[in-house]
Amino acid sequence: MDDGELQVHGNWTASTGVENRATTYFGNAHYRLRHLDGAWQIAKKKTVILNDMIHEVVDFYHL
């Protein structure tokens, strides 16, 4: 990456309960961090959901 930027990756899980059904989502996230004014800030984020089947609408707040 450019000077002052860092590319990192991570795995995640998120669980939710809807109408008596518990669901766990899983995937990975890719971040580009930029060092500005002595702190790291997220310059770009990409989230990938790896579940084979999703039973309800997934919105930003699930992740």
- How does pLDDT run across 28-55, given as a tens digit for each residue? 999 999 999 899 999 999 999 999 988 7
Confidence of residue 63 (pLDDT cuts 50, 70, 90): low
Q: Give how many domains the chain has, as a whole number.
A: 1
Residue 57 lies in a domain: no
Q: Name the residue range of residue 45's domain.
A: 5-51
Residue 29 lies in a domain: yes
Residue 60 lies in a domain: no
Residue 58 lies in a domain: no
**Residue 4, token pair as written in the block:** 């002052």
- What is the per-residue pLDDT for 2? 60
Report CA torsion sign: 4, 9, 13, 50. positive
pTM to 2 decimals? 0.71
Burial string for 23-39 (b: 16+ CB within 10 Å, else e) reads bebeeeeebbbeeeeee
